[in-house]
Structure 1
Amino acid sequence: MSEAVRGRGTVRPIRMLGDPVLRTECDPVRTFDASLERLVDDMFASMYEATGAGLAANQIGVPLQLFVYDCKDDKGRRHVGHVANPRLVAADGAMLDDQEGCLSLPGLGFNTLRHARAVVEGVDIKGEPVRVEGTGYFARCLQHECGHLRGEVYIDVLTGEARREAMRALRAARR
């Protein structure tokens, strides 16, 4: 698996909540060529520039089922990679209530319930099958990025007072 490193790729602007591309279900990746490799490099460059742990393609305006990640799991192990056409095949274990943020909602963070373990299956930039399993923060990242590709943002999974707080913060940010 070819991974982008800092210095490769072109930084693209991150789309903000309100942009329709963030609310549209993404299309499957069907072409596995040099342009897809460049897109992955651009996604890593954009994610690193914004100091993120994950980035979905629609967050830079490309409505394809693709995300990149660089984050640690609950044992402190770093995971760096990408998944095209991901399917969240398992999200289980304890529910963790922890702070979550999003590059498309900068400056906002809310406690969000996520499963402690997640498994994603898809393909890499060559079209080869991949299976990624994460725990802790990495599981949170996998669930978050899969949500983006369905046209969701993390505040959609909030409930109760956390959801009310998020809605108040969004209204205040738009003023």
Structure 2
Amino acid sequence: MAIRRILTIDNPADLATLKKISTPVETVTDDLRVLMDDMLETMYDAPGIGLAAVQVGEPVRIIVMDLAREDEEPAPRFFVNPELFDPSEELFSYEEGCLSVPEYFDAVERPARIKVRYLNYQGEKVEEEAEGLFAVCIQHEMDHLEGVLFIDHLSRLRRDRAMAKVKKARRAA
């Protein structure tokens, strides 16, 4: 496994890649499992709870996630070609952050529950309902697959503030 560089919004080339719509995966192969393993290691190293393949420069429809708390055993999840459907009318607001928008957090409102259909690490079909943090995270990561960042859900003023904060932090580093 290898830690890959996470693309960030302060780099114009990175931002152009992050805005790409990811392409579906034909089949789950050993090469894709290597990518998923690398993504997981990269996410843990960052540290984060979710990562889309496009965030490491691979615009394919793959997400990794681990919502286990620090005092719990890791519980990695893999989503290949995920699809969201049947969102609840009830909304849930959560202060989100993003590894591609470092050091910036803001509230985003999303459906409180949603169903997700995907292929797992072994290529098996899975369908389940997501709620709470799982619902927030899967919707956030699915946005990445569509070329959407969580700051795109914010007002222009808050989005500009996020961009400025990330650029300032990078200059300071």
TM-score range, shorter chain: 0.7 to 0.9
Structure 2 residue runs of 5 or longer lacking an equivalent are: 169-173
What is the TM-score with the length of structure 2 in the denominator?
A: 0.84
Encode CA deviations 1:84-135: one digit per residue, 9 max, x unaligned. 1111113215211221010000000001111111221121233321123221
Match of 1:155 in 2: 151
Instruction: Give the Cα separation in 2 of the matches to 1:29 and 1:38.
Output: 14
- Say whether the 8 Å CA contact 2:40–2:76 is kept in structure 1: no
- Say whether the 8 Å CA contact 1:33–1:125 is kept in structure 2: no
- Say whether the 8 Å CA contact 2:97–2:105 is kept in structure 1: yes
Structure 1 residue runs of 5 or longer lacking an equivalent are: 1-8
Match of 1:51 in 2: 47
What is the identity, as a one-letter code, of the residue corresponding to 1:116?
A
Match of 1:14 in 2: 6
Match of 1:165 in 2: 158
Residues 80 and 117 (structure 1), Cα distance of their counterparts in 2 relative to 1, 3 Å cut:
farther
- Say whether the 8 Å CA contact 1:10–1:42 is kept in structure 2: yes
- Kindly report the root-mean-square deviation, in angstroms, between the aligned alpha carbons of the 2 structures: 2.1
Match of 1:3 in 2: none
What is the identity, as a one-letter code, of the residue corresponding to 1:168?
R
Percent of aligned pairs with the same amino acid: 36
Encode CA deviations 1:118-170: one digit per residue, 9 max, x unaligned. 221121233321123221111000100111001111111224xxx42231231
Out of 8, 30, 34, the residue aligned to residue 30 of structure 2 is 34
> Where do residues 105-144 of structure 1 align in structure 2 (5 Å cutoff)?
105-144=101-140
Instruction: Give the Cα separation in 2 of the matches to 1:169 and 1:108.
Output: 6
- Say whether the 8 Å CA contact 1:118–1:142 is kept in structure 2: no
What is the TM-score with the length of structure 1 in the denominator?
A: 0.83
How many residues matched? Answer: 161
